C-alpha cells in the first residue's frame, strides 16, 4: 500500500508537468491557428479585390479589342477604296489619252478638209445669189407666187395684159404620194385629166406651166393665148437671168431637195427670200416634186 502511494506521488508531478506542457502547446497552437485564420481572411479579401480588378481588366481588354477590330476594318475598307480610286484614275487617264488622240485625228481631218469646205461655201454663196435672182425674176416678170397652208397655193399675175394685177390661182395638196386639186380660180376644163397625169408622172413643174397656159387660154382664148405666148417668150428670152435649170437640180439623188428655192408669200411681197415652206422647190425644179420641203440652204441664209 505504501509503495503504491509512493509511486502515485512520484507519478503525479510527472503527469502534472506533462499536462502543463500539453496545455501550453495547445494554447500556442490555438494562437497560431487564430493568426493563420486572420491572415487567411485578409488573403481572401485581397483575392476578391484582385478578382474584381481582373474582371475590370478583362472588360477593358474586350473593349480595346473591339475598338482595334473596328479600326482595322476601317483601315482595310480605306485601303480598298484607295486601290479602287487608283484603278479608276488609271482608267480615266487611259480614256483621256484616247480622247486626246481622237481629237487630234479630228483636228487633222478638219484641217485637211477646211480648204475644200471654204471652196464649197463660196460655190454655195454664188448659187444662192443665182437662185435669189431667179426668184426675183419669177416674181417680177411672171408674177409667180407660192403660199403654203392647207395646201400649196400657186398664184399668177401678168396673165391679162389689160389687167396685169389680176390674179389667177390654184391650190394643190400633196398627201400620201397623191396630188389633189383643192380649188382653182378661174375654173378650167380638163382638170381631172391633168391631175391624173400629174399623179402618174409626178411632174409638178410641167403641171404648173400647163396651168399657166390654161389660165392664159381662159383669159384670151386659144388663138390670142398663142400670140401672147410668143410675146412672152420674147420677153423671157431677153430678161431672164443667166441661171441654167441645172442650178436647181441636186448633183446626186441623196441631195435632191438641197438646192430647192422658196417663193415669197402673197401677204409679204417685200421679202423675196421668204418662200412657201412646202412646195415651191418642186414648182421651180424639173426634178422630182414629191417633196415640198423648204431648201436647207435658204434656211441657213436666213
**pLDDT, tens digit, 9 for 90 and up, residues 206-217:** 898 898 899 888
Angle between helices 204-220 and 222-239 (to 10 degrees): 130
Identify the pLDDT of residue 138.
74
Domains of the chain, by residue range, sit at: 122-301
Residue 155 main-chain phi, psi, to 5 deg: -120, 135
Distance CA 3, CA 102 (A): 143
193: helix, strand or coil = helix
Higher pLDDT, 255 or 184: 184
> Which of 142, 200, 160, 182 is closest to 279 using CA atoms?
182
Confidence of residue 241 (pLDDT cuts 50, 70, 90): low
Distance CA 84, CA 105 (A): 32
* CATH architecture, range 122-301: 2-Layer Sandwich (3.30)
Per-position DSSP letters for 76-138, written without gaps between them: HHHHHHHHHHHHHHHHHHHHHHHHHHHHHHHHHHHHHHHHHHHHHHHHHHHHHHHHHHHHHHI
Q: What value does the mean pLDDT of the chain take?
A: 74
Residue 53 reports pLDDT greater than 60: yes
- 246-292 tens-digit pLDDT: 333 333 333 333 333 333 333 333 333 333 333 344 333 333 333 33
The pLDDT of 60-84, averaged and rounded, is: 93
Confidence of residue 29 (pLDDT cuts 50, 70, 90): confident
State the pTM of this model. Answer: 0.38
Identify the pLDDT of residue 24.
83
Distance CA 124, CA 285 (A): 17
> Which of 136, 146, 155, 142 is closest to 265 using CA atoms?
146
Distance between alpha carbon 300 and the CA centroid of its chain, in Å? 24
Distance CA 86, CA 106 (A): 30
CA distance to 94, 179, 194, 289, 297, per residue, from 199 (Å)? 59, 6, 9, 10, 28
CA distance to 192, 201, 210, per residue, from 173 (Å)? 14, 16, 17
Confidence of residue 141 (pLDDT cuts 50, 70, 90): confident
Q: Which of 31-45, 80-94, 155-169, 190-204 tops mean pLDDT? A: 80-94
65: helix, strand or coil = helix
Specify the range with the lowest mean pLDDT, choosing from 11-15, 92-96, 152-156, 272-276. Answer: 272-276
Specify which residues 170 forms β-bridges with: 154, 184
Specify which residues 251 forms β-bridges with: none
Identify the pLDDT of residue 17.
81
Helix (H) or strand (E) holding 145: strand 145-148
Are 272 and 136 within 8 A, CB to CB? yes
Order of strands across the sheet with 152-156? Answer: 145-148, 152-156, 168-175, 178-185
Distance CA 32, CA 36 (A): 6
Residue 110 reports pLDDT greater than 90: no
Distance CA 253, CA 250 (A): 7
Amino acid at each position: 500500500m505504501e509503495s503504491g502511494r509512493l509511486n502515485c506521488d512520484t507519478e503525479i508531478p510527472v503527469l502534472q508537468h506533462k499536462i502543463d506542457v500539453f496545455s501550453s502547446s495547445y494554447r500556442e497552437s490555438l494562437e497560431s491557428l487564430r493568426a493563420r485564420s486572420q491572415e487567411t481572411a485578409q488573403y481572401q479579401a485581397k483575392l476578391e479585390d484582385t478578382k474584381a480588378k481582373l474582371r475590370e481588366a478583362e472588360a477593358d481588354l474586350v473593349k480595346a479589342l473591339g475598338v482595334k477590330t473596328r479600326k482595322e476594318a476601317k483601315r482595310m475598307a480605306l485601303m480598298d477604296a484607295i486601290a479602287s480610286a487608283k484603278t479608276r484614275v488609271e482608267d480615266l487617264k487611259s480614256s483621256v489619252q484616247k480622247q486626246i488622240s481622237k481629237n487630234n485625228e479630228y483636228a487633222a481631218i478638219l484641217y485637211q478638209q477646211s480648204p475644200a469646205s471654204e471652196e464649197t461655201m463660196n460655190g454655195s454663196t454664188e448659187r444662192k445669189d443665182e437662185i435669189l435672182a431667179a426668184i426675183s425674176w419669177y416674181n417680177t416678170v411672171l408674177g409667180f407666187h407660192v403660199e403654203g397652208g392647207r395646201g400649196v397655193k400657186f398664184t399668177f399675175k401678168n396673165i391679162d395684159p389689160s389687167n396685169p394685177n389680176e390674179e389667177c390661182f390654184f391650190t394643190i395638196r400633196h398627201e400620201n404620194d397623191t396630188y389633189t386639186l383643192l380649188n382653182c380660180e378661174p375654173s378650167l376644163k380638163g382638170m381631172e385629166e391633168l391631175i391624173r397625169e400629174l399623179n402618174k408622172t409626178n411632174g409638178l413643174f410641167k403641171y404648173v406651166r400647163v396651168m399657166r397656159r390654161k389660165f392664159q387660154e381662159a383669159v384670151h382664148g386659144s388663138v390670142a393665148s398663142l400670140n401672147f405666148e410668143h410675146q412672152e417668150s420674147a420677153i423671157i428670152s431677153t430678161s431672164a437671168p443667166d441661171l441654167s435649170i441645172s442650178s436647181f437640180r441636186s448633183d446626186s439623188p441623196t441631195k435632191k431637195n438641197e438646192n430647192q428655192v422658196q417663193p415669197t408669200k402673197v401677204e409679204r411681197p417685200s421679202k423675196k427670200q421668204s418662200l412657201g415652206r412646202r412646195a415651191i422647190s418642186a414648182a421651180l425644179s424639173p426634178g422630182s416634186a414629191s417633196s415640198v420641203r423648204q431648201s436647207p440652204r435658204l434656211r441657213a441664209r436666213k
